Structure formats: C-alpha cells, structure tokens
Amino acid sequence: MTTAPLNRRGFLGRTALTGLGVALAGSVEAFVRPAVASAVPGRAIGYGPLIPDPNRILALPAGFSYTVVSRSGDTKMDGGESVPSDFDANGVFARQGGGSTVVSNHEIGKDEPFGVPAVEGLTYDTGARGGTTTTTVDAEGKWLGQYVSVAGTVNNCAGGITPWGTWLTCEETEARAGTGGFFLDHGYVFEVDPAGQDANRGKSPVPYKFLGRYAHEAVAVDPATNAIYLTEDASDPNGLYYRWTPPQGFRGGPGALRGLAQSSGGDTAGALQAMACFQDGVHVRDLSQATEPGVRYTVQWVDVPDRDAKSTPVRKQFTDDQVTRSRKLEGQWWGDGGAYFVASFARTGDGSAAEHDGQVWFYDPATETITLKTLFGVNPDPAVDTGNYDGPDNITVSPHGGVILAEDGDGISHLVGVTAEGEPFALARNELNDSEFCGPAFSADGKTLFASIQSPGLLLAIRGPWRRPML
C-alpha cells in the first residue's frame, strides 16, 4: 500500500539498479533472470499470455472475464451514499443463499474525495474518514448491495480473515488524538462481521488495543492456537513482525476477541511480542540480508514493553540487536499450516542491509522458523512489461495452487501468480492507469477472484477456467 511520505512509485523511478528477476523456493527452486524473464509474457506459463482489454481496464488470459462490481464515487450504497475512495484489502466470505460477501478496506487518511460515512453504532472516531464497506454479490459477481460496516478509522490498509469467519481490519497509522482532526488515538485493529450491518452495530468500532498501536498492515490467525501474527509497515527505523499469544483459557470464536478487549485488563491481554531471527546462532538484524530463496532463520520472540506506545513508538522500544527489522512489511495470509508474509521492497538508503523488489516469507509455527520462499530482484525497467515484477503487497494462497500477489511497484501493475514449481506469471494487468492492485481473495467455491484497483477505486470480480497454473 502507498504510505506517506515515501511514494513507492516515485522512489523506484529515481533508482537505477540491476534486475535479478524472480525466484521462489518451492518443490523446485527457480531463479528467473532478466534474459529468461523477458520471454515470460509469450510463454504459456500460468494461464497463458494476457489479452489486451478493449475497455482498457483489465487484461486477462484467454477465457477469463471480469466484472466491475463497485466504483468509488459512482456506485451508491444501500443508504444512498457514494462508495468510499481507495479500495484496499478484501476479505471474502460465502453468502447465505449463494454468492459472496466481500468486506473491503478503504485506505482513507484525510483528503480522499469520498470518505466512509459516519453511521450510528458503527463509528469509532467522528474525526476520521476511513473504514470498511461490505458488498454482497451473486454467484456471477453481480453487485447486490453495499453498506458501511465500520467507520471513523484511518488508513484501513490490509487485514486478515479469522478462523471463525470475520474480518480483522488494520489501521496503518500512529496518529494521536488531537492531530489531524482526530478525537481518539489510532493505529489499532478492528473486527468486522460479514453477517450484516446490524451485526456490527456497537461491535465493529471496538479497538483491539491488546494487538498494539502502530502502523498495522496485515494479520494472520493460527486456527490451532488462535495466535495472531501481524506485519508493520513503518520506517525510521524499519518495521517489525509481531505475534500475539492469547491468555490462558482463551477460546477463539465470534465475539471472543471483542469480549477480551472490553474485559478488565483487556488492553494488555495476552502477550504481544516482536520477532528476532537467527542463522546458526547469529542474530539477523534485517530480513533483506537474505538474497537467495530457501534461506531459513530460526525465530525467537521478544516481549513488547509498551504495546500502546504511550510515549515511544513500539518499533523504537527495541535496539537493533534485540529484533529483526524489515522495510515495507505488507500483506499476509494463513495457509499450509503457517503464515505467508510479504516485504514489498528494500533499499540500502532506507537502512536495509541489501536491496530487492520483494520477498515472500513463510513462518512455520511448528518449527519456529521463517523461510524465504519468493525473491524479486530489483526491476530494471518497471515501465516495460517484460515479466519482471516489483513491489508485491497483498497476498493470497490460491485454492488452485501457488500464491497470487498484488503488485504495488513502479510502472505497470499486475496481479502476479507464482506456481508451486516456482514460476512467476502475470494473471492480470491494469490497463486503466498505474495504480496498485489490492486485496486478491477467492470466493469460497474458488470460482471467483476478487481484487481491487485502488484509484480511482474499483472492486473487481474475475472469473475463468481456473486450474492448477501450468509451466
């Protein structure tokens, strides 16, 4: 996701570096260098080459089609208000009676043209304009309705689905009450129920302070232990990867986290810890130092002293020799018994140990390790569609095999698939503009992929001959 003051696209445009292509550590460890990657669009990788869209919105492989489900500013919600600006991450749930319910973040800070309307019982801070909307669609991806599900939050960026079928939406900010017109502190996680607007009244505006106050990106919940893993997109110093462990006796389920948050001592319930990595007993200060797929680090967890950051931002409460940092920790998804999480890019000029245009890591709670699964080398020319990709952001694990990444880099934007064998491929190309893709997530039946183009704000439903992506 784009965050001020550093504009991702402008930053890369000023950086001249050598490209390395893409690598993924899977059943086959592939390393695609520029000479090979330049031929990728013409090869039958994934679902085949992309076909230009006569409507200049979305290029897709043959046999695939898309529907524009909702447009910021144009589509009117159930209450008559305009759909808010800046779609971001999506949580997709099966809809009773068929079709899907899509909970969408709106990464709204201050000046976006269409804010999330304040609705009684759904608004955390009347001075803030971000939040989520919930859209219902039929089995073909046709819009049926849309409503506000939480309002009064800031920069709702990424999030995550819980095992009990709700959406955790995250504020990517550290804003305090009294700044920017806000009446309350921000930087929290909130929970949205896809069951309906009334299911959220008096419930979705409850901040989960026990998960910390910082620039949250995404969460992933371990269904076996209810531990919650969290990414932080921050700089000066770079952000951290966190784990929240529930208190003894906690049982996850509908309303359980909210009940914990509202209980006596709920602000500090459970243990919030930051990740520290080691390789052969040597502390790893920065994830960017991993420059080959397959690198594995052991993990230890360090207690956060003040999770609400009353005087010092959480990431600044640690010295560099206590934790492992990373530039641009972004999307996350639970799958294969662990958490996939993304580092979007790194440059030595921002304090990183080495440079890349994206990493995908896998945390395995059984072994307490993280493994570098995907490595994007620095893209030499993001404005040319040659099979080099940069800036992976949101991620989802595909029910058809491999993962799908939303590209938020410089130049052309794609939905990028990576096969289980380690081959990257373009699943979709934004032909409307150079805005980022956001929030790829499949319907429960695996037939529809929902995704967003953040600006001017489109929620899209993609359908086609899904299968295991081929080499």
Q: Residues 369, 299: contact at Cβ < 8 Å?
A: yes
Residue given tokens 């949580």 in the structure block: 91
Omega prior to 5 cis, within 30 of 0: yes
How far apart CA 23 and CA 6 sit, in angstroms, is 26
Q: Residues 442, 397: contact at Cβ < 8 Å?
A: no
Go through 11-20 and write b for each residue having 16 or more CB atoms within 10 A of its CB, e for each that does not. Answer: bbeeeeeebb
User: Distance from CA of residue 240 to its chain's centroid?
Assistant: 15
Tokens of 131: 């939040």
How far apart CA 21 and CA 386 sit, in angstroms, is 10
What confidence score (pLDDT) does residue 434 get? Answer: 93
Q: Residues 255, 199: contact at Cβ < 8 Å?
A: no
What confidence score (pLDDT) does residue 44 get? Answer: 63
How far apart CA 61 and CA 464 sit, in angstroms, is 9
How far apart CA 119 and CA 420 sit, in angstroms, is 44
What confidence score (pLDDT) does residue 30 get? Answer: 28
What confidence score (pLDDT) does residue 41 get? Answer: 44
Q: Residues 116, 131: contact at Cβ < 8 Å?
A: yes
Closest Cα to residue 341, out of 268, 449, 232, 441? 232
How far apart CA 213 and CA 177 sit, in angstroms, is 13
Give 10-residue mean pLDDT values along the chain (471 residues).
34 28 37 30 75 97 97 96 98 96 96 96 98 96 96 98 98 96 98 98 98 98 98 96 97 97 97 98 97 96 98 97 97 97 95 94 98 92 87 96 94 92 90 96 97 97 93 64
- Facing residues of 371 across strands? 296, 362
Taking only the tens place, the pLDDT of each residue in 331-352 is 999 999 999 999 999 999 998 9
Domains and CATH numbers, the chain: 59-463 (2.120.10.30)
Half-sphere CA count of 107, side-chain side, radius 13 A: 28
The predicted model scores a pTM of 0.92
Tokens of 371: 């493994």
Report the chain's C-alpha Rg in angstroms: 20
Closest Cα to residue 455, out of 408, 394, 389? 408
What confidence score (pLDDT) does residue 45 get? Answer: 79
- Facing residues of 94 across strands? 100
Dihedrals phi, psi of 37, to nearest 5 degrees: -60, -30
How far apart CA 263 and CA 284 sit, in angstroms, is 38
Closest Cα to residue 208, out of 265, 148, 257, 153? 257
From edge to edge, which strands make up the β-sheet containing 143-153?
Answer: 87-94, 100-106, 130-137, 143-153
What confidence score (pLDDT) does residue 24 get? Answer: 45
